Structure 1
Amino acid sequence: MTSARPAVEPRELRRAYTASLSGTALEYYDFAAYSVAAATVFGDIFFPSGDDLAGTMAAFSTYAVGYLARPLGGFLFGRLGDVIGRKKILVYTLMLAGIATFLIGLLPTHAAIGGLAAVLLVTLRFAQGVAVGGEWGGAVLLSSEYGDPRRRGFWASAAQIGPPAGTLLANGVLALLSGVLSEDAFTSWGWRIAFLLSAVLVLFGLWIRLRLEETPVFREIADRGERPTAPVSEVVATERRALLAGILVRVCPDVLYSLFTVFTLTYITQELGMSRSQGSTAVMIGSACQLLLMPAFGALSDRMNRRRLYLYGTIAAAVWPFVFFPMIGGGSFVLLVLGVVVALVIHAVLYGPQAALLTEQFSPRLRYTGSSLAYTLAGVIGGAPAPLILTALLAAFDSWWILAAYLLFTAALTGVGLWLARDPVVDPEEETVAEAVTR
């Protein structure tokens, strides 16, 4: 029997939602700024080789480092989040991501210090990845463990709004800089401004998070003396099926997102002769749509079976590339925008409910660790190698068919994950929150 708690104040709910959204927005602003810069600038200034394709692949290799570092963040911060609490860890991850991104904006280039520039870039990219690996699971819990667990899809979507918000802001800043500066000025110093601006977002995020109390669910677990001492070992020993399901359900959305927000910029410039600003504009419009669609699909998943909605989105993701690539083959900007927007709507169908789907696979006392490990390990096999694999496949086969087939393969993996996943269960610790919210 759980103890009664005072009702959760609406102000606290709104603050938790804002804290979750703002932190993930910052960290995905960092990732998106790097993604755009990797596709357009970093190949020349950090990895010069005289071969545009080789330079782009080298830049995407450091993009992948950010994903490969995520499991370390999930392991380290996820474990601490279940042991000492959600709020403290989220302050640390926010500061780590912000400092790393700010320092990228100050890095000297290859022309100034040679190969050391690339080493420093990879190091800071690694730090970004560690921060994101620890951020996501906690950000999801920060909002969802304050809200009614029967509306977990909506409350958990706060963290899911962060990626499109961060992507929109990063692409907007870089597009503005690219538009108002000459090509030489943008390549020389203009891109740095986007990374230095992260300091503003860090200060705002810290201001919100430091004013927030620990989540009611974690406080309930702590009061009952049920905090785990070795959460990683417990997850591996007792919740292996949940971990595998959580990993696989993320693979297709990760590859879909990489394809349409990162690789497409390379594809349209190198294969279709379109400008990078056209690609960035299409991504910005699609990301703007996602700001409203993420919580909408999260809320919809509270009203219908979450796994079924996710399956519909996975099928759409598998089919869309076979429509998209022929559609943009003529180099039409309007069709490019339409194609990217539809792709990001499909991504919203998946990503909006995804946070709830992942976290509800694990018991509350292991939820930070379990969801963080699933999220980060999925990135290693999905999002991390996607730009590299897509670039290599295009170079080897010189056809969009192989790109679409690769996404189809990842959709099949996500289908297996959905088969393994369980439907929502409201645990005893969460019943207390539900009663407090509804009083």
Structure 2
Amino acid sequence: MTDTLTMEAPTTPKNSMAKRATVASTVGSALEWIDFTAYGAVAATVFPKIFFSQMDPNIGILAAFATFGIGFFARPLGGLFFGMLGDRIGRKNILLYTLSLMGAASFLIGCLPTYSTIGFAAPLCLVLLRFLQGFALGGEATGAQLMTMEHAPQNRRGLYGSFINTGSSLSAALASGMLFVLTSTLGAEQFQAWGWRIPFLLSFLLVVVGIYIRLRVSETPAFIQAHAKGAEERVPLVKAFAQYPGTIFRLLIIWCAPTACFYVITVFSLSYITKNLGLPTQTAFLCLMGANLIAIFTVILGGAVSDRIGRKPTMLIASVLTLAIALSYFTLLDTKNWYVIFFAIAAFVGSLQIQSGVQPALFAEPFPTNVRYSGSAAAYTGANLLVGGPTPFICAWLLQHAGGQTWVITAFCAVVIGASLIAIIASPETRHLDIKR
């Protein structure tokens, strides 16, 4: 492996390979996020009726959101598993594995019979495939970030890294747009019968494209250098937790707020707008699509600004802005005015994605190369386990037990944002650190 890694490095000019790595990571990440995001949108609207039809409607929604949360339970396991492998055998190989696994799981979701056809086996298989989706994404998310960060010029790591996290907004926009077209053209009955399967069945084509692009990127210079020195750890995850427990914990808490609030918007809001406010599903998809298209630019803005003023100040400004918007979010939704609803969703998503632009650099820079994948994945996927998966379920449960009053969800958002702000204040600046150490 040493010879292979060494020979890959000089074949392409450094800046050219950095751009190629950014494109490959961004496209691959977006392709995986399309499947993951589409599941959340369909879970909020269709799955309670076709996989949990035997339950009371309110319980069915909770059950559908619980399967959504399974993916987040699997993400830390995938992040830790692929993180250890990535620190030992390289970033490139792992990214090919994760993309293939995500595509296979998503394609099979599109093929699943419903509860009316095979009974209890249907939701059971759904849970298993959702677990595999999350397991794959746990390794993908961090690996794609590191592939870009370790190729990027030091003074532009924030900007280069930000393009990776445009994948979540781009995929949310594409998934929402696809679902909008399907619900508008097929109608509610046909969409529920078979139309929801289309985004998942398209996974096969997306995986072929993603693998082709990633095969054209070399292993990262930082990993090649560490490998040549024999610096890799036998069990990098243990080393990361032994030497950097405080760093992992701070980063995990920092990322709880963007994670929780993102799923309040992209998953729970869909259920709230359509079920509680009684507004059309396709219009909700359209608002979410437009908001996520706008958010692509705020992701890049966050990364670029962090290269100039630092990761910590950018995160602080964005977090305060997120808190201000969260406090009025449901009040704006309750107007039932689509222009106001679109503004609320766009402002909330936009403020969150400023932080997403900073996140790749913020999570990669504190760790040395030999444990970077493991340490970064532990913090990133840990936040998703703690609040990402449970958030739609928690919000639905809170709303039902508060008699439909949304202030409890606003309070939930305020608590997680407040905790993240404290963790940001306690964290050091990392912009100046050498990523090849």
TM-score category of the 2 structures, normalised to the smaller one: over 0.9
Aligned twin of 1:373: 378
Query: Contact 1:70 / 1:379 at 8 angstroms: preserved in 2?
Result: yes
Shift of 1:346: 0.5
Residues 1:141 and 2:150 are matched in the alignment: no
Shift of 1:110: 0.3
Quick one: distance in 2 between partners of 1:205 and 1:195?
15
Quick one: distance in 2 between partners of 1:328 and 1:258?
16
The AA in structure 1 aligned to 2:130 is R
Shift of 1:422: 2.3
Query: Contact 1:46 / 1:109 at 8 angstroms: preserved in 2?
Result: yes
Quick one: distance in 1 between partners of 2:27 and 2:279?
33
Residues 1:424 and 2:415 are matched in the alignment: no
Aligned twin of 1:245: 250
Query: Contact 1:306 / 1:423 at 8 angstroms: preserved in 2?
Result: yes
Residues 1:71 and 2:79 are matched in the alignment: no
Quick one: distance in 1 between partners of 2:13 and 2:65?
44
Displaced runs of 4 or more, over 4 A: 425-429
Aligned twin of 1:118: 123
Quick one: distance in 2 between partners of 1:171 and 1:429?
36
Query: Contact 1:220 / 1:429 at 8 angstroms: preserved in 2?
Result: no
Structure 1 stretch 224-233 or stretch 249-258: which is displaced more? Answer: 224-233
**What's the TM-score, normalizing by structure 1?**
0.94
Q: 1:161 aligns with which of 133, 157, 166?
A: 166
Aligned residue runs from structure 1 range 140-289, under 5 A? 140-289=145-294
Aligned twin of 1:404: 410
Structure 1 stretch 94-103 or stretch 285-294: which is displaced more? Answer: 285-294
Aligned twin of 1:84: 89
CA-based RMSD of the aligned residues comes to 1.6
Aligned twin of 2:3: none
Quick one: distance in 2 between partners of 1:418 and 1:48?
44
Aligned twin of 2:67: 62
Quick one: distance in 2 between partners of 1:220 and 1:128?
32
The answer for unaligned runs of 5 or more in structure 1 is: 432-439
Provide closer, same or farther for how the CA distance between residues 428 and 379 of structure 1 changes in structure 2, counting only shifts above 3 A. Answer: closer
The AA in structure 2 aligned to 1:230 is V
Query: Contact 2:316 / 2:421 at 8 angstroms: preserved in 1?
Result: yes
Secondary structure of the structure 1 residue equivalent to 2:423: helix
Query: Contact 1:82 / 1:368 at 8 angstroms: preserved in 2?
Result: yes
Q: Deviations over 1:18-44 (max 9, x none)?
A: 111012111210111101100000011
Shift of 1:427: 5.0
Aligned residue runs from structure 1 range 280-429, under 5 A? 280-397=285-402, 398-424=404-430, 426=432
Q: Deviations over 1:211-255 (max 9, x none)?
A: 211011111111121111111110111000111011111100001
Structure 1 stretch 273-282 or stretch 100-109: which is displaced more? Answer: 273-282
Quick one: distance in 2 between partners of 1:247 and 1:9?
32
Quick one: distance in 1 between partners of 2:415 and 2:434?
38
Shift of 1:291: 1.9
Aligned twin of 2:57: 52
Structure 1 stretch 379-388 or stretch 45-54: which is displaced more? Answer: 45-54
Aligned twin of 1:437: none
The AA in structure 2 aligned to 1:410 is V
Q: Deviations over 1:341-390 (max 9, x none)?
A: 00111011111101111111212221111111111111111111100000
Count how many residue pairs are aligned between Structure 1 and Structure 2: 428
Secondary structure of the structure 2 residue equivalent to 1:182: helix
Query: Contact 1:361 / 1:421 at 8 angstroms: preserved in 2?
Result: no
**What's the TM-score, normalizing by structure 2?**
0.95
Quick one: distance in 2 between partners of 1:206 and 1:328?
40
Provide closer, same or farther for how the CA distance between residues 313 and 102 of structure 1 changes in structure 2, counting only shifts above 3 A. Answer: same
